[in-house]
Structure 1
Amino acid sequence: MGALSTPTDATATESVSEGLIVPEEQESILKVESLFNDASGIILVSAMALWVKNGHFNYQQTLVDFLRSAGGGVLIGTMAALLMISFRQLLTRSNRFAYNAQNMLFLITPFIVYFIAEEAKVSGIIAVVCAGLMQNSEGMRSRFVLPRQYHNGITLMNLFREILNNMVFIILGLLVVRIVRADLVVGNTNIEWIGIGIVLYVVNLIIRYCYGLIVKMTNQGSIIFALGGVHGAVTLALVYMIIDSVSSSKFDIIILAEMLMIVLSMIVPSIAFRFLLPHNLSIKENIRQTNRLRNEMVEEGINAVKKIYLPENVRQSVLYDLQDQKNANSFSDFWRQWIQASWRAEFSDQERELEQRALLWAFRAERQYLDMVSQRENMQEYVYELFNDMLLAESILLDQDKFY
């Protein structure tokens, strides 16, 4: 439950996977990045508030406040995560049918950890991030105990991540519009916020770059780590926590400086990454390759079905399902099949078994084709995507209670 990923984060992550850091350290470094983003956000808010309020940068007070807030957050997050992980693991190993309860526990954990940390007057954000990092490691070491629960959990978390990501940028956009409409940018005669915003952005880059070197990234990997991500999005939300601690004019300066930092973190990497990152397949080319392989894969499955004996009604049903894999059935085809399924007699048990076996036979041919392609095309991302679709299709087929 760390910092929300952004398109820029994804680009930097792809570059890391291209070998810009040591391979065995990639996973841990990428997980720690979210903690680093939020920690830097906490310290920037504190530093900026003291800077604006006192007229100078009080690094001693900033460091003390940061250590207290961040250290307490790490401690509470770690302890809470250990307790929740132990409870979930005991539940998993004592009751294999409690996977829905497991997912609910996983979802409510960050809220519990956050409120406990805030009541203790330490950073709830850092506490939640620490707990999230530990739960990631838990998942990697227990994913095959209950595969259904693990898969449902990933699907659920992806849904929540997408919702929260969209909410963050919607709120960020609304804040920027409000700042512009309030004439804080044009009407503010004090341009101190420009210097503060630039300094904060440069300091943040330097700290992130040094961190990259400390964790043994390459020089290029450290630069990409420093530039990647929208810096300050979390910090801008935290700024409103200190609205009562400074005057209205000082608060306007803080808001403008934070907005400038966010804008710079979007513009600078958009320009720099064009020269720093290797050029991967374009989105259009990726889609073209995926569609090509999908069509060829489905043809393999269809050819396999045509070579075996099936009653005609079963054969037509199987071929329709396989054509659906590559979205080759038209709107009218769907309604024709819907009418037939609604009015015709249901398949007998024998026909139902034949249909299931025929689809499994087709999926087997499709998987063999993908396996051959993966050796030729080095398991590109679009090949993984097709493998994933294929395995999901098989899982739907094998789950007879829901399939029929």
Structure 2
Amino acid sequence: MSILLIIALLVGAVVAANIVQPFVKRIPEALILIVIGALFSILPTFHGFQINSEFFLFLIIAPIMFQEGQSHPYNTIRKHAKTIIQLSVVLALFTMVLVALVNANFPTKWPLALTIALAAIVVPTDAVAVKSMTKGLTMPKGLNKSLELESLFNDATGIVLLDLALSFFTKGSLSPMTGIGYFLFVSLGGLLVGAILSLLVVGLRMYLNFHATSAQATTIPLNLLTPFVIYIVAEHLGTSGILAVVAAGLVHNWEHSKLQLIATESQIVTATIWQTTTTVLNGIVFVILGLALPAIFKTMTHFGWIGSLILLALAAAIYLAMFLGRFLWVTLQSDQNLTEFFGKKHTKNRRIRARLFGLSGVHGAVTLALAMSLPTKINGRPLPFLDEIQIVTTLVILLSLAVASVSLPLLLKPETAEFSPEDLDRVRKQMIDTAIIAVEQSSAKHAIKKALSQTLQTQKFTNGRRLAQADFTTAVLPLMNAVFDELNDYLDSDHVQQNFAENTIAIYSKIIQRGLINPATKRHPLMHLVRKLRRLQGELRFHIKTRTFTRKQRARYQQEHLKARPKQQRMMANLRDNRHAVWALNADTQSYADQLLAKHLAEQMIAGQETGNIDQVRTLLDRFFDLVAHDYQHVNVTVPAEAYIHAFGHEYRFVTSELEKKAISPALGDQLYHEINQAQTLQLMDFTAN
């Protein structure tokens, strides 16, 4: 139960950070997660909380790296293979040497192997954390891509180098050739194992997509299990499990490009699950870092002020060395392949990007996992300087996050949106209203048109805000009165006069006069309650006065009452005879009201007016027509799939027309296309499920 509670709290912390972040936009989400984690450490559930590093790599890092691999096209990786090696291997080794030199010159007196181990731990970078810090800022595209490619593979470099350092510490010596051979075996072996196993999985999934009875029930779970199985197999064979899952992700990206429009629903569901899962897992990493902070700071107190200051100075020196290393490496590189990412050499653009690249060397998930993966004992003896290494690692992570979160917003300009939220809301409403007009003017049944129009209205909630309610007296009441007058004119039209009896028209006109104009008056909720109480009081007084409490008593009283009043009896008989004719006229008038609302909606769109009053008037009219038809039961109407397709087709045509007229920007058009696609996919998936 405690494990389930811990998982629930960790996920809850990520949710809480997403709720808090919009209110403190200047603070990166990673720092918010760390603070929440530190606060959670006070809870009794997390007292003595420790993470098994193997499970951390297996359950958190492996799926994150698998998704990272899936998000990078295979052609991009092949095109930039040389650059990837330079970023994730050459630069990593260069940075590690600088860190080891800095550490060796500090009065820490660590063995060379542990100095190399610390350098290997802080080598991996976290591009996801950088993205959260640069959200809303204009980060150069080429630089962003270089950070992603570096982060994709330098994790494995750090893991392999840490294994070599620990092996060096255990044996006391390690030949260069042995180290190089081990590095190639672990890295290339991991890539090969991941690629081969993933190709087998992809082949199996392709077969199941065409032959399985329920393809989704098998292919989606199989995809979710893939990184875990491949990681276990690769680690069992002595190769890099991280590189294996990265290679598996790349192969799955290739599979996606080959499938194209095959098994689309399965691909959409799988992609959504992976994006959501990895977002949560990335957040959990920083929550765990926050949980570890109190214990780290408590451990620092054991070293005293001087010892703590030395460790803090060492962490700052290591961070500075890594920044300078990354800055100099980019500045001095003359390889033409790097021009796409960093600009031309000896230019201002290159210097700016070199500085940004240095500051973007943020450390996170893998660095934390490697620090926690250090063994407590080697050869039966406690690993020396274990606490110091973990403290310095934590401080380096915090420094990299803090410096980047402050400096990057100062150096980068805010994103200039190609369209404003107000423009998006305005055009979205026009698009939806255009589709509703087409729906109202169609020949479908009123119940289907009503349900479909209500569904389309929900698209206006895309921006996360409630629909603006039109002011009743200034917007709704004038429109309601105009519609009321038009309905009265319709009852006097030749169509109604020729198809319905004069008596039926007279009865229905009185119903409209009494029933339709009353809902058009603004009713306060308290007044509505007062009316109900008065009605209940009147009914109670009637029952007491007439002594009619059961159904039989009421029926007998009604017969005696009408028998004594022949005029009322004839009127009731007349109403019964005209009931079906009134219902038919009510249905006819309801169809005409749909056309009226579509006309008013079009007029308001052309005039550029807010159309929220149309929906409120439609609600009032539907309530009236349902009451007249004695349709008191709210029956769920099933809208046919083709009706949705036609409605979304009208939205597509509206956006296309606006783009052709250059009334909206291509970026705004793409956003609306994306929203229509999502809405259409959701509705059709629901239709298939039902």
TM-score, normalisation: structure 2: 0.47
Structure 1 counterpart of 2:251: 134
Task: Give yes or no for contact 2:137–2:414 (8 Å, CA) kept in 1.
Answer: no
Q: 2:276 aligns with which of 147, 154, 159?
A: 159
- Cα distance in 2 for residues equivalent to 1:172 and 1:321: 44
Task: Give yes or no for contact 1:209–1:223 (8 Å, CA) kept in 2.
Answer: no
Structure 2 counterpart of 1:180: 297
Compared CA separation, residues 35 and 279, structure 1 to 2 (3 A): same
Structure 2 counterpart of 1:243: 375
- Cα distance in 2 for residues equivalent to 1:70 and 1:184: 39
- Cα distance in 2 for residues equivalent to 1:231 and 1:373: 45
**Helix, strand or coil at the partner of 2:238:** coil
Whether 2:526 is the aligned partner of 1:392: answer: no
**Helix, strand or coil at the partner of 1:155:** helix
- Cα distance in 1 for residues equivalent to 2:301 and 2:226: 39
- Cα distance in 2 for residues equivalent to 1:286 and 1:142: 36
Task: Give yes or no for contact 1:48–1:254 (8 Å, CA) kept in 2.
Answer: no
- Cα distance in 1 for residues equivalent to 2:456 and 2:654: 15
Q: 2:360 aligns with which of 216, 221, 228?
A: 228
- Cα distance in 1 for residues equivalent to 2:327 and 2:217: 39
- Tell me the amino acid that sits aligned with residue 391 of structure 2: L
Moved more, 153-162 or 215-224: 215-224
**Helix, strand or coil at the partner of 1:165:** helix
Matches of residues 292-371 of structure 1 in structure 2 within 5 Å? 292-327=426-461, 343-345=633-635, 347=637, 352-353=639-640, 356-371=641-656
Instruction: Encode CA deviations 1:272-311: one digit per residue, 9 max, x unaligned.
Output: 32354342148xx965554344323222222333333444
**Structure 1 residues not aligned, in runs of 5+:** none
- Cα distance in 1 for residues equivalent to 2:401 and 2:271: 29
- Cα distance in 2 for residues equivalent to 1:292 and 1:226: 42
Task: Give yes or no for contact 1:367–1:387 (8 Å, CA) kept in 2.
Answer: yes
Q: Could you tell me how far 1:71 is from its partner in structure 2?
A: 3.5
Matches of residues 38-187 of structure 1 in structure 2 within 5 Å? 38-42=155-159, 45=162, 66-92=183-209, 94-95=211-212, 98-184=215-301, 187=304
Structure 1 counterpart of 2:589: none
Task: Give yes or no for contact 2:231–2:244 (8 Å, CA) kept in 1.
Answer: yes
Q: Could you tell me how far 1:134 is from its partner in structure 2?
A: 2.5
Compared CA separation, residues 100 and 403, structure 1 to 2 (3 A): closer
Compared CA separation, residues 123 and 272, structure 1 to 2 (3 A): same
Radius of gyration: which is bigger?
Answer: 2
- Tell me the amino acid that sits aligned with residue 233 of structure 1: A
**Structure 2 residues not aligned, in runs of 5+:** 1-63, 69-125, 343-349, 470-524, 526-615
- Cα distance in 1 for residues equivalent to 2:632 and 2:261: 39
Instruction: Encode CA deviations 1:301-331: one digit per residue, 9 max, x unaligned.
Output: 2233333344433332222212211136799
Identity across aligned pairs (percent)?
A: 24
Task: Give yes or no for contact 1:304–1:361 (8 Å, CA) kept in 2.
Answer: no
- Cα distance in 2 for residues equivalent to 1:5 and 1:72: 25
Structure 1 counterpart of 2:579: none
**Helix, strand or coil at the partner of 2:373:** helix
Compared CA separation, residues 105 and 311, structure 1 to 2 (3 A): closer
Instruction: Encode CA deviations 1:102-150: one digit per residue, 9 max, x unaligned.
Output: 2222111111111122223333222222222232222223232211111
- Cα distance in 1 for residues equivalent to 2:132 and 2:196: 30
- Cα distance in 2 for residues equivalent to 1:400 and 1:294: 23
Compared CA separation, residues 361 and 85, structure 1 to 2 (3 A): closer
- Cα distance in 2 for residues equivalent to 1:150 and 1:249: 49
Q: Could you tell me how far 1:253 is from its partner in structure 2?
A: 1.4
Task: Give yes or no for contact 1:300–1:362 (8 Å, CA) kept in 2.
Answer: no
Task: Give yes or no for contact 1:49–1:254 (8 Å, CA) kept in 2.
Answer: no
Q: 2:142 aligns with which of 3, 8, 20?
A: 20
Compared CA separation, residues 66 and 20, structure 1 to 2 (3 A): same
- Tell me the amino acid that sits aligned with residue 655 of structure 2: L
Q: Could you tell me how far 1:254 is from its partner in structure 2?
A: 0.9
Task: Give yes or no for contact 1:72–1:123 (8 Å, CA) kept in 2.
Answer: yes
- Cα distance in 1 for residues equivalent to 2:398 and 2:176: 25
Structure 2 counterpart of 1:274: 409
- Tell me the amino acid that sits aligned with residue 6 of structure 1: V
Structure 1 counterpart of 2:558: none
Matches of residues 283-298 of structure 1 in structure 2 within 5 Å? 287-298=421-432
Q: Could you tell me how far 1:20 is from its partner in structure 2?
A: 3.3
Structure 2 counterpart of 1:260: 395
Instruction: Encode CA deviations 1:348-379: one digit per residue, 9 max, x unaligned.
Output: x8xx44xx555433322222333355665544
Q: Could you tell me how far 1:252 is from its partner in structure 2?
A: 1.4
Task: Give yes or no for contact 1:88–1:102 (8 Å, CA) kept in 2.
Answer: yes
Task: Give yes or no for contact 1:81–1:135 (8 Å, CA) kept in 2.
Answer: yes
- Tell me the amino acid that sits aligned with residue 344 of structure 1: H
Instruction: Encode CA deviations 1:34-92: one digit per residue, 9 max, x unaligned.
Output: 423413542674588699999xxx99987666445434323322332233233333444
- Tell me the amino acid that sits aligned with residue 266 of structure 1: L
Compared CA separation, residues 153 and 143, structure 1 to 2 (3 A): farther
**Helix, strand or coil at the partner of 2:260:** coil
Compared CA separation, residues 269 and 298, structure 1 to 2 (3 A): same
- Tell me the amino acid that sits aligned with residue 446 of structure 2: E
- Cα distance in 2 for residues equivalent to 1:257 and 1:377: 53
Structure 2 counterpart of 1:8: 130
- Tell me the amino acid that sits aligned with residue 261 of structure 1: V
Task: Give yes or no for contact 1:228–1:269 (8 Å, CA) kept in 2.
Answer: yes
Task: Give yes or no for contact 2:133–2:404 (8 Å, CA) kept in 1.
Answer: no
* Alignment root-mean-square deviation, CA: 4.5
Task: Give yes or no for contact 2:368–2:394 (8 Å, CA) kept in 1.
Answer: yes
Moved more, 170-179 or 92-101: 92-101
